[in-house]
């Protein structure tokens, strides 16, 4: 996608006259100009970071541990699912490499699956350790994280930003739990250096590809910022989030066209529609990737929920800023995944694939904490329980977030 600066309309008489002259000379782009939301510049990072504080907090972990110990559902079945997965194995051998090379659709796949799955395993093992208090799980998580921090230097090829975002989302979740709830991790400093030197530079500046890329990259950036206690990196991630979410989910208040992200270069109606997969009819909750498929849309909605959840733990709750967009998006896609016929005005009357195990975090925040009625999302969420892993960056969210009041 071409990048560029979108001209601003100046509030002067001369500028207005020029604008009217231009309008008479050329077709209007849209009922409103395709101008991006300008991400607010105010600081977002907390004065003091909360640990563990990436996606899950200590009170949330304590709630989960209590529910599992009581044999309560759906947490017990979700826990059993997690513990029966390959990611909880105490015999797992990490497969680090110096350069992870990931092409489009993982072709080539030189360490891509290994890295993502080792990162999910480290997170899984950290959850297992907290719930069971069995130090063997912590030691295995540490072994995996130390193996990678001793070796990896770079990510290459076309999917490097997305790969770094996916793996970089899981690593800080694991690292936060181990560093702040386990007795000893001598290699935590080297792991932090890995996150700062190898992962953060790849994700911090975002992407003008499909929106799920930048959202996943921003999720990694905010998690890394928490682990490193890097306030500047945290603020930058929140700025990216505030610019991208309104450009990823449409609501009717946006006008005749969706908003566009800062620097996107989407300065005509035709460019915007092309970016939205050819969709020219817009409705509450439509995602930039809805007409691509629901799976990639699910990646984006999941990352939005994860970023907002981390911000909430850190004391600046981003959910209220994006609640209307996120609830409409979850509801629209859940409704059609549940079988409501797709109108011809939406993606030509056909939607592909499914969202995946991605609704627990956002549903718990919006419905249970903020009180929004979300019937379709609730039905889909409960039908999919226990939600497992998508083997990319989502794992065990029925266990960690189902009805979690903390």
DSSP per-residue codes, 390-401: -SSS-B-HHHHH
Give the confidence band of 21 by pLDDT, cuts at 50, 70, 90: very low
Q: Where does the pLDDT of residue 44 fall: very low under 50, low under 70, confident under 90, or very high at 90 and above?
A: confident
**pLDDT confidence bin for 42, thresholds 50/70/90:** low
Contacts of 8 (CB under 8 A, 6+ apart): 35
Residue-wise pLDDT tens digits, 99-108: 999 999 889 9
Q: What is the pLDDT of residues 45-95, one digit of tens each?
A: 999 999 999 999 999 999 999 999 999 999 999 999 999 999 999 999 999
pLDDT tens-place string over residues 366-387 = 999 999 999 999 999 999 999 9
* Mean pLDDT for the stretch of residues 204-223: 97
115 token code pair: 């890295």
Q: What is the pLDDT of residue 106?
A: 85
- Which has the higher per-residue pLDDT, 44 or 15? 44
Paired with 258 in beta bridges are: none
Alpha-carbon span 185 to 192, nearest angstrom: 12
Q: What is the pTM of this model?
A: 0.90
Task: Give tens-digit pLDDT for 256-294.
Answer: 999 999 999 999 999 999 999 999 999 999 999 999 999
In this prediction, what percent of the chain has a pLDDT beyond 70?
90
Tell me if 135 sits within 8 A of 72, measured CB to CB.
Answer: no
At residue 148, the pLDDT reads 99
3 state SS of 25: helix
What's residue 7's pLDDT? 33
Rounded-to-integer distance, Cα 28 and Cα 269, Å: 9
Does pLDDT of 8 surpass 70?
Answer: no
In contact, 291 and 279? CB cutoff 8 Å: yes
Spatial contact of 380 and 338, defined as CB atoms under 8 Å apart: yes
* Joined tokens for residue 66: 């209590």
Say if CB 360 and CB 401 are below 8 A apart: yes
Kindly write down the DSSP assignment for every residue of 170-193, as one continuous string: HHHHHHHHHHHHSS--TTHHHHHH
């Amino acid at each position: 996608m071409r990048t560029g600066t979108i001209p601003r309309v100046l509030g002067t008489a001369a500028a207005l006259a020029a604008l009217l002259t231009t309008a008479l000379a050329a077709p209007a782009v849209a009922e409103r100009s395709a101008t991006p939301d300008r991400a607010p510049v105010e600081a977002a990072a907390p004065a003091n970071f909360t640990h563990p504080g990436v996606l899950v907090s200590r009170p949330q972990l304590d709630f989960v541990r209590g529910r599992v110990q009581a044999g309560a559902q759906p947490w017990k079945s979700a826990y059993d699912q997690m513990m029966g997965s390959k990611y909880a194995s105490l015999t797992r051998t990490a497969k680090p490499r110096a350069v992870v090379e990931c092409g489009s659709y993982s072709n080539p796949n030189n360490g891509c699956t290994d890295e993502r799955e080792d990162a999910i395993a480290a997170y899984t093992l950290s959850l297992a350790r907290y719930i069971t208090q069995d130090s063997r799980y912590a030691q295995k998580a540490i072994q995996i994280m130390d193996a990678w921090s001793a070796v990896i230097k770079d990510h290459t090829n076309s999917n490097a930003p997305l790969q770094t975002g996916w793996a970089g989302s899981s690593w800080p979740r694991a690292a936060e739990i181990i560093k702040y709830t386990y007795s000893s991790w001598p290699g935590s400093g080297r792991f932090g250096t890995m996150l700062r030197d190898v992962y953060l530079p790849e994700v911090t500046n975002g992407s003008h590809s499909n929106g799920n890329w930048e959202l996943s990259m921003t999720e990694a950036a905010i998690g890394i910022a928490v682990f490193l206690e890097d306030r500047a990196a945290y603020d930058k991630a929140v700025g990216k989030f505030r610019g991208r979410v309104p450009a990823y989910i449409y609501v009717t208040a946006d006008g005749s066209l969706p908003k566009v992200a800062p620097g996107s270069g989407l300065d005509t109606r035709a460019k915007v529609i092309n970016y939205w997969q050819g969709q020219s009819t817009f409705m509450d909750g439509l995602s930039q990737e809805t007409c691509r498929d629901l799976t990639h849309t699910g990646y984006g909605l999941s990352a939005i929920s994860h970023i907002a959840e981390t911000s909430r733990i850190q004391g600046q709750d981003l959910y209220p800023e994006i609640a209307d967009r996120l609830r409409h998006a979850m509801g629209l896609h859940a409704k059609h995944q549940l079988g409501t016929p797709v109108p011809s005005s939406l993606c030509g009357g056909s939607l592909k694939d499914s969202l995946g195990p991605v609704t627990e975090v956002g549903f718990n925040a919006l419905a249970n904490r903020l009180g929004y009625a979300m019937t379709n999302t609730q039905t889909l969420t409960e039908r999919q329980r226990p939600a497992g892993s998508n083997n990319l960056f989502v794992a065990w969210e029925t266990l960690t977030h189902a009805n979690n009041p903390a």
